[in-house]
Structure 1
Amino acid sequence: MHVVLYEPEIPGNTGNISRLCAVTGCHLHLIRPLGFNTDDKSLKRAGLDYWHLLDIDYYDSLQECLEKYKDHSQYFLTSKATKGYTQVHYDAGSLLVFGRETSGLPDWVHEQYAGQCLRIPMLPDRKARCLNLSSSVAIVVYEAFRQQPDFGGLSLVPTEHHGTLNSQYR
């Protein structure tokens, strides 16, 4: 499974998503420019001490990433879509693309990939535009894994390793 963040702006969100990717084995793809330095303390703190478990790549454009994974199913999560995120079948190599926290995905994505744009349902007629980015990623990633045989290899058995957290993350 692949998680693509298009020009993420908030380090805490990217840190949370990084931790999600580390514990699920998702490959994380970050599209520049980033709204923060990757040495940002809040980014590191949100990801805790999971950074060594993360498979991460950086790209200078979304097109570059999409072209590299053109043989994979590609889905674009946006509040502008009308098809629900549960209305498709994800495969183990699906690319799940999420937009900026403040402005989402660019218009050309909505136009070029209209049939692959998905939405997380929300109440209508509310002042809130959308869910938090890290919450949205978690919802869709776990739906994609739920659809896989044996939950995509994720374990329901509690881990034995509960070591103490390095003080720099407290």
Structure 2
Amino acid sequence: MAKLNIVLHEPEIPANTGNIGRTCVATGTRLHLIEPLGFSLSEKALKRAGMDYWKDLDVTTYLDYEDFLQKNPGAKIYYATTKAPQTYVDVNYEEDCYIMFGKESAGIPEDILVNHQDTCVRIPMIGDIRSLNLSNSVAIVLYEALRQNHFDHMNLAGHLRNYEWD
């Protein structure tokens, strides 16, 4: 069974993290938060965005990037950044890989990115747009990874309440 991992490096906005947490619960994805966080995990905005799903979230926090690496040895990590030379659809996501996103104001630090060029990915955009919203970016890349893993363990068909599909 595919068990993907989303990593947020120093997230700053609780509503984004809450939305990402909800997406992780809906997809069976683990969430990893690298401190410092720009908010408290008990904040109302975080819980509101994650709604009643936050209690079901598989989430781990780390003191810093080094702590994350130490506790996840050998992890295959993809780094989502606007600075990447390839797009998020140009790589093959393993069923237990980690996809890291940086903080809203600055992204992943370049001293981390420079050593991982082959696993840096970007979402294409036009013009001088700085970036997409963090929670939207996570959803885009995560669903591509899930698609590549055939949406393993996910519901693939919906059902009407009062009617039958032909």
Query: Who is 1:156 aligned against?
Result: 156
Structure 2 counterpart of 1:153, which letter? H
Return 5+ residue gaps in structure 2 as ranges: 161-166
C-alpha distance in structure 1 between counterparts of 2:124 and 2:132, whole Å: 10
C-alpha distance in structure 2 between counterparts of 1:23 and 1:159, whole Å: 17
Query: Who is 2:117 aligned against?
Result: 114
C-alpha distance in structure 1 between counterparts of 2:70 and 2:110, whole Å: 18
* Alpha-carbon spacing, 1:99–1:157, altered in 2? closer, same or farther (3 Å): same
Structure 1 counterpart of 2:141, which letter? V
Q: Which runs of 4+ in 1 moved over 4 A?
A: none
C-alpha distance in structure 2 between counterparts of 1:81 and 1:7, whole Å: 19
* Alpha-carbon spacing, 1:109–1:159, altered in 2? closer, same or farther (3 Å): farther
Query: Who is 1:20 aligned against?
Result: 23
Return 5+ residue gaps in structure 1 as ranges: 161-170
C-alpha distance in structure 1 between counterparts of 2:152 and 2:133, whole Å: 25
TM-score (ref. length: structure 1) = 0.87
> How many equivalent pairs are there?
157
SS at match of 1:57: strand
Deviation per CA, 1:34-88, whole angstroms, max 9, x where unpaired? 0011111111000000012110000011122133333232100000111110000
Q: What do you get for the CA RMSD once the two structures are aligned?
A: 1.5
SS at match of 1:153: coil
Query: Who is 1:105 aligned against?
Result: 108
TM-score (ref. length: structure 2) = 0.90
